[in-house]
Amino acid sequence: MASSMINKGMNWWQAILTIFIGNAIVLVPMLLNGHAGAKYGIPFPVLARASFGTKGANIPAMLRAIVACGWFGIQTWIGGASLYNLIRAYNPSLEAIKIEGLFPQPLPVLCFVLFWLLNMFIVYKGVESIRKLLVFKAFFLPVAAAALFCWAVVAAKGLGPILSEPSKFTDSASFFHFFFPALTAVVGFWATLSLNIPDFTRYAKSQKAQIQGQAIGLPPSMTLFAFVGVVVTSATAIIYGQPEWDPVNLASKFDSKLMVAFAMLGIIISTLATNIAANIVSPANDFANLNPQKINFKTGGYITGIIGVLIFPWKLVADPNGYIFTWLIGYSGLLGPIGGIMIVDYFFINKKELIVDELYQHKGRYFFNNGFNIKAVIALLIGILPNIPGFLVITKVINNEVFPNWISDLYNYAWFVGFAMSTLIKNGNIITASDNYVADILIEGETIKAIGKNLNVTADEVIDATGMLVMPGGIDPHVHLDMPFMGTYSSDNYETGTRAALYGGTTTVIDFILQTQGKSLQSALNDWKSRSDNNAVGDYSFHMAVTDFNEDTKKEIKHFIEEEGITSFKTFMAYKGALMIDDRQMIGLMQEVKKHGGLINVHATNGDMIDFLIAKHKAEGKLAPLYHYLSQPEITEAEASGRFADMASYTGCPGYIVHLTCEGALNAVRNATRRNQKVFVETCIQYLILDASLYEQNFEAAKWVMSPPLREKKDQATLWAGINQGLVQVVATDHCPFMWEQKLMGKDDFSKIPNGHPAIENRMELLFSEGVNKGKITLNKFVEVSSTNAAKIFGMFPKKGTIAVGSDADIVLWDANEEHTLSASTHHMNVDYSGYEGWQVKGKVKQVFLRGKLAIDNNECKVGKGFDAAWYASAETIPGPTVERMQEYAKKYQMVIIVPMYEKEQAGVLYNTAAVIDADGTYLGKYRKNHIPHTGGFWEKYFFKPGNLGYPVFQTKYAKVGVYICYDRHFPDGARCLGLNGAEIVYNPSATTVGQSQYLWKLEQPAHAVANGYFMGCINRVGTEKPWNLGKFYGTSYFVNPLGQIIKEASEDNDELLVAEFDLDLIEQIRNKWQFFRDRRPETYGEIVRL
């Protein structure tokens, strides 16, 4: 190809650059389309079914097949021409090949027919014998290329004359007029392979292997071969007076007959090997796929051969214009859209998740509409249509004046036009802090890639948000998860807390690390990370609370800001003796934080005054929760807020007051802003809608014991006004929940009630219902105080806190009109009461996307702790690679094997499954776990769907086998079904920890064995599982017989092989004695399924 570019006027470096750029471009779709082949082991025609449907896949298959037929014809002509020139080398009187009419001379045609027949003979005999030819080709081509290179350099008297050949293009306009069609031709050259690359990557050992192999094998090697072609072609211009780009014609000009014979024989063998491997096998299979009953591989091969003749390949090869502008560009316009559609479908619609079993089922998931995915077909037509005018002009079917030049010129970019016209969109009604408009949003991976009104694209899948508000995910910058406080821990950990936040539309939270006095900041960070790492469901970050500022702490500030990325440092002006620092330490910390560009957060209440009032009330015997409120009057907060603002003004350090509650404190901030001081203010949802009258209850008031306490109704009005005036920038929660049992620690002394309030899930819905719906704030202000301002203040904007191109795709779909009731019975926070029990709210979160992944879908959580898309990659189809590997072992050892696996049926549809393999290696089927737990540490409903295959029993070589999985064992109903279905042995693979159900381990399963008269193999793992640290798995695997007797048992701690012999005759003996199946009364059990 580089040679033909030289022939058309490029100089050597222009041709090489064009080849390199084209190969680099086509490498992208090759890598993307190759992904599915490496992951699932499927070829191109099967992969195409996911995009086009089981019947529709024939469309891209046929387009590819026709292209391959064309290449077969071209390669066959080259082989025939080589054969003719081999004859001509020994009979110089024969003319060179001339194509002046429709056909060349008779003898070249005869050679073409002979070479064609050789190809068809191999089709008849089968392709296995071609392997040796391919090995020869792999050796011969580099050697031949090196020999040609050396010949060209020697014959042209060095590289200098060769590389000095100038370009024939006199200006940039004429160059680029040829460059872009040539570039498209380079891409078009590989267009077929960019589609059927799964045919080859299916054998790759890993994604890394296929990526590295193609990245190394395509641009560098092809550019190197192109350089050889350029040198040789340029040399022929010097040696023969005109450039010779056709390798067959060049070889025929050698003086030595032996050299000509060697060259021609090499071309013949190389062409034959390439033709069979690349241009016959694939289309033959494609044609056979049309009608497998009537067309086999051989017949498909013959069809390929006939079509290859009918395209008149000698006409294409005779003219570089025809070769580049007609053939390569023309068929790239067909294959570009196919590649684009398949890539979009695989990566964006199916999220790289395919159900391999369904791909092979005629009327399965990929049947679509009578076997066709109409959307994909339409997208293909749209991709091809822009290139048709140019094709008709270039082939002289119509006059070039019929269409405007810019339309017909699109043909020169056919592959790029077609490839780019397949995409995925999502639409929505978008609300940000500054805008309110209807538009479409394109999400790619974890980020937003495009936003526009009525994007002019064809969408294979649309998430329709018509009538919905679409807003950025909320950011709560004030939470306390798994926090040690007042002799206990807050009840929401990183898993339960961030999951509850997602349910409420909050995608990111910022937690506070508490330094222990006398210890370093780094030790506190390590402590918090040990609780947070791999445990959060949503996104999170940290503030650092400094409770002991000294010279050592001072040295850590720079490291935390510059290395750890923690830029905000909290201080307490209360909790004396535990968290509080004095004003001297405060000033020192402010100066150090300012020096390195950080921010100071403050809990601004007067700790000394509060301690005095607590002691006073307790001395007077006033111990009810009411006196918590009375110990923290408004003046304690107003004074501390003003003092903090003054210190911040003196040091020049930016400040942020957390959970501001009252008019007096806000007035102190207002005074600071009048001197142009930067003091940010956060309030919390509870201070906007709850008031101190709740403390007039008895101990029930402990639910609202928090610091600062709730204030008066006048303060609520002040805070709403402060939000609208811009004095209050953020509405957070100070989420710090404690179970009622923990609150009871202070039933006789209010000062011992753990301070904290649960609101992380309710914040946004309450703010919307009480703020937006009641006209207190606008939609834009809602987004500003619930998300955007926090992102800006704490350095996350615009990555988070807005909907914009390049931002994280943290998106909430909101129904502004849906009404619902808040209750502890329905919320997802790990706390057994609600501070808003019975509240009626209007406006509800419907869907939440966390960095592009659907996290909440109509009140169902789709993600779990530390369980992102990377973990889904561990699931695989059944049967699949693991089952196939175990089949080998089963056959080798004549053993029936039960294989528990994480099964992937399709994207987002995953099961806890066990495959059953017989002793001869036959895959018998699978059981899917029916009962899915949802309890501490085992939140399996995020990972698995309940099974849908019932309770199958499998006839193996040795016995009838059934499977129950882990949590299933707690349900006698399914165990009975297995017995009724004929099970003789039931296996229960489990992973259960101490403290969960150990006391049931040796009760339930022996009971199942007795009740149903079968043997059971009860397997439980040993050891621990990092980093989740769910506890110790207690092992104790055992076998139990139909009498309920444990006949073999393993230890709690060690990996062991447990072996036992079963006498299956015992089953009949026991069932004859205990006629449980006979005496059943299923007609009386209707209530079981009604309840």
Distance CA 760, CA 739 (A): 15
Distance CA 929, CA 1046 (A): 24
Q: Tell me phi and psi for residue 114, to 5 degrees.
A: -65, -45
Nearest partner of 438 among 427, 450, 423, 424, judged by Cα: 427
Nearest partner of 992 among 963, 937, 1034, 1027, judged by Cα: 1034
Of 13-17, 163-167, 833-837, 993-997, highest mean pLDDT:
833-837
Nearest partner of 644 among 604, 612, 677, judged by Cα: 604
What is the pLDDT, as a whole number, of residue 102? 66
Distance CA 441, CA 424 (A): 10
What is the pLDDT, as a whole number, of residue 416? 46
| Least-confidence region, from 244-258, 363-377, 876-890 | 244-258
Residue 890, C-beta contacts closer than 8 angstroms, at least 6 positions apart? 896, 897, 917, 918, 919, 920, 921
Question: What is the pLDDT averaged over residues 91-112?
Answer: 75
* φ/ψ bin of 32: left (φ > 0), alpha (ψ from -120 to 50), beta (otherwise): alpha
∠ Cα 47 50 52 (to 5°): 100
Percent of the chain at pLDDT exceeding 90 = 47
3-state secondary structure 332-380: HHHHHHHHHHHHHHHHHHCCCCCCHHHHCCCCCHHHCECCECHHHHHHH
What is the pLDDT, as a whole number, of residue 409? 47
C-alpha 38: how far from chain center: 17
**Is the pLDDT assigned to residue 194 strictly greater than 90?**
no
Distance CA 705, CA 177 (A): 77
Question: What is the pLDDT averaged over residues 183-191?
Answer: 66
**Is the pLDDT assigned to residue 755 strictly greater than 80?**
yes
In the chain, the amino acid numbered 583 is: D
User: Using an 8 Å Cβ cutoff, are 506 and 477 in contact?
Assistant: no
In a 10 Å sphere around its CB, with 0-12 CB exposed, 13-18 middle and 19+ buried, how is residue 166 labelled? exposed
Distances (CA, A) of 271 to 85, 121, 248, 268: 15, 15, 11, 5
| Least-confidence region, from 207-216, 428-437, 897-906, 1023-1032 | 1023-1032
pTM of the shown model: 0.52
In the chain, the amino acid numbered 22 is: G
Q: Tell me phi and psi for residue 758, to 5 degrees.
A: -90, 125
User: Using an 8 Å Cβ cutoff, are 112 and 76 in contact?
Assistant: yes
Question: What is the pLDDT averaged over residues 176-204?
Answer: 70
User: Using an 8 Å Cβ cutoff, are 277 and 70 in contact?
Assistant: no
C-alpha 15: how far from chain center: 39
Of 46-55, 57-66, 318-327, 666-675, highest mean pLDDT:
666-675
What is the pLDDT, as a whole number, of residue 17? 85
* φ/ψ bin of 73: left (φ > 0), alpha (ψ from -120 to 50), beta (otherwise): alpha
**Is the pLDDT assigned to residue 425 strictly greater than 50?**
no
Q: How many helices and strands, by DSSP H and E, does the chain display?
A: 44, 30
CATH top class, domain 2-394: mainly alpha
Q: Tell me phi and psi for residue 244, to 5 degrees.
A: -120, 105
Percent of the chain at pLDDT exceeding 70 = 81
**Quick one: tokens of 736?**
């710090």
**Quick one: tokens of 854?**
């659907």
Nearest partner of 725 among 733, 737, 717, judged by Cα: 717
Distance CA 801, CA 527 (A): 28
Beta bridge partners of residue 867, listed in sequence order: 864
Distance CA 422, CA 345 (A): 9
Distance CA 514, CA 483 (A): 8
Nearest partner of 1060 among 1010, 1022, 1019, 1012, judged by Cα: 1019
Distances (CA, A) of 600 to 481, 509, 587, 644, 647: 21, 18, 11, 10, 11
∠ Cα 470 850 501 (to 5°): 90
3-state secondary structure of 425: coil
What is the pLDDT, as a whole number, of residue 331? 55
> For 307-364, how does the pLDDT look when each residue is reduced to its tens digit (9 = 90+)?
888 877 776 666 544 444 455 445 555 566 787 788 888 887 777 888 777 787 767 7
> For 568-602, how does the pLDDT look when each residue is reduced to its tens digit (9 = 90+)?
999 999 988 889 999 999 999 999 999 999 999 99
Question: What is the pLDDT averaged over residues 760-779?
Answer: 97
Helix axes 207-217, 12-40, angle to 10 degrees: 170
Query: Residue written as tokens 């909320």?
Result: 474
* φ/ψ bin of 457: left (φ > 0), alpha (ψ from -120 to 50), beta (otherwise): beta
**Quick one: tokens of 825?**
């019975």
Listed in sequence order, the DSSP H helices in 245-328 are: 247-252, 257-274, 281-290, 297-310, 313-318, 320-321
Question: What is the pLDDT averaged over residues 28-38?
Answer: 85
Query: What pLDDT band is residue 16 in, cutting at 50, 70 and 90?
Result: confident
In the chain, the amino acid numbered 563 is: E
**Is the pLDDT assigned to residue 704 strictly greater than 60?**
yes
> For 468-513, how does the pLDDT look when each residue is reduced to its tens digit (9 = 90+)?
999 999 999 999 999 988 888 999 999 999 999 999 999 999 999 9
What is the pLDDT, as a whole number, of residue 244? 59
3-state secondary structure of 718: helix
**H or E element, residue 29:** helix 12-40
Distance CA 919, CA 342 (A): 40
What is the pLDDT, as a whole number, of residue 1009? 97
CB count within 10 Å of CB 625 equals: 24
Concatenated DSSP letters for 573-600?
SSSTTTTB--HHHHHHHHHHHHHTT-EE
| Least-confidence region, from 161-170, 741-750, 1059-1068 | 161-170
**Quick one: tokens of 908?**
């987002």
CATH architecture of 473-799+822-834: Alpha-Beta Barrel (3.20)
Nearest partner of 792 among 673, 678, 660, 708, judged by Cα: 678
Domain locations along the chain: 2-394, 473-799+822-834, 874-1090
> For 845-887, how does the pLDDT look when each residue is reduced to its tens digit (9 = 90+)?
999 989 888 888 888 887 766 544 456 668 899 998 899 999 9
For domain 874-1090, which CATH number applies: 3.40.190.80, 3.40.350.10, 3.60.110.10, 1.20.140.10? Answer: 3.60.110.10
Distance CA 992, CA 1007 (A): 19
- Whole-number mean pLDDT of the chain? 84
Of 17-31, 293-307, 1073-1087, highest mean pLDDT:
1073-1087
Question: What is the pLDDT averaged over residues 553-574?
Answer: 93
Query: What pLDDT band is residue 419 in, cutting at 50, 70 and 90?
Result: very low
Looking at per-residue pLDDT, the higher value among 984 and 466 belongs to 984
User: Using an 8 Å Cβ cutoff, are 44 and 206 in contact?
Assistant: no
Nearest partner of 389 among 377, 380, 398, judged by Cα: 398
- Whether 473-799+822-834 and 874-1090 share one fold: the answer is no
The two beta strands, 960-963 and 953-955, are antiparallel
**Quick one: tokens of 904?**
């992937």
Nearest partner of 592 among 562, 555, 543, 639, judged by Cα: 555
| Least-confidence region, from 51-60, 87-96, 256-265, 1056-1065 | 256-265
- Whether omega for the bond prior to residue 798 falls within 30 degrees of 0, making it cis, is yes
Q: What is the CA radius of gyration of the chain?
A: 37
C-alpha 758: how far from chain center: 32
Distance CA 1015, CA 1076 (A): 16
